[in-house]
Amino acid sequence: MSIGLNRTDFEQLRRSGMPDAYPKPTLAVVQELNERGYAVDVTVLNYLVKTARVQPSRVGQRNFSWQAEQIDAVASILEEQQSFLPAVVASEAFGFPFATYLKALKQAVEQLRIESGDPTVAEDPTLFVMHVAPPRFGRPARVSFTVCDDVRAHLCPQESGNLPFGVGTRTTTMPRVDDSAVPPAHSPPVSPAVHHRNGMAFSAK
């Protein structure tokens, strides 16, 4: 089982179920492999050609033409070398496949496009807070995304004032407490205040 995207997942998640056109020039190969989660550039591809690890067809003096099978061969080599982009490494560390990460991100982006009325919203993870539930109690790890409050305020100004408590990066203002007031001796202990920052809860003790 591959850690980066295999061809089926690549076409489903990156190309809306449609196969790409082949052969591809070298720069397009780099783009595809990056989208599949591999850390690779033109220098790496040229080295693999020079060392005969892969042999794409030559076009002219310096250019190459890559078939899908040759690109998949490069992906296998990069798998062996553990040459992945940070999002793939993070997904592996958290215990879910990179494809699961991409599916959750795409769902969040599609929802934001609907809410904002802007179909051009980029598939950019920095627009969201990522929530990870680690594997436990016999179920696999899960990942989801909620839009950051500043992003929602920018893209959905009509909704930015109605966010639920604790969503995204919103900070909720708590009522001011008179520090001089001393509770009666019979009062129950006061629970620690909980501050929300960047989608995470911190208990102030």
pLDDT of 127-186, one tens digit each?
999 999 999 999 999 999 999 999 999 999 876 554 433 333 333 333 444 444 444 444
Tell the residue number behind the tokens 């019979």, with chain if given: 186
Residue in 126, 201, 129, 144 with CA at minimum distance from that of residue 171? 201
Total residues found in the chain within this entry: 205
Amino acid identity of residue 166, one-letter, is G
Amino acid identity of residue 200, one-letter, is M
Residues with Cβ < 8 Å from 205, sequence gap 6 or more?
Answer: 192
Q: By the 8 A CB rule, do 196 and 171 touch?
A: yes
Q: Degrees (nearest 5) of the Cα angle 153, 156, 161?
A: 55
Q: What is the per-residue burial (b if ≥16 Cβ within 10 Å, else e) of 15-33?
A: eeeeeeeebbebeebbebb
Q: How far apart are CA 9 and CA 102, in angstroms?
A: 10
Is 202 strand, coil or helix? strand
| Res 205: pLDDT | 39
Q: Degrees (nearest 5) of the Cα angle 201, 131, 16?
A: 160
| Per-residue pLDDT in tens (0 to 9) along the chain, 205 residues | 789 999 999 999 999 888 899 999 999 999 999 999 999 999 999 999 999 999 999 998 889 999 999 999 999 999 999 999 999 999 999 999 999 999 999 999 999 999 999 999 999 999 999 999 999 999 999 999 999 999 999 999 876 554 433 333 333 333 444 444 444 444 444 444 444 444 444 334 3
Q: How far apart are CA 43 and CA 51, in angstroms?
A: 12
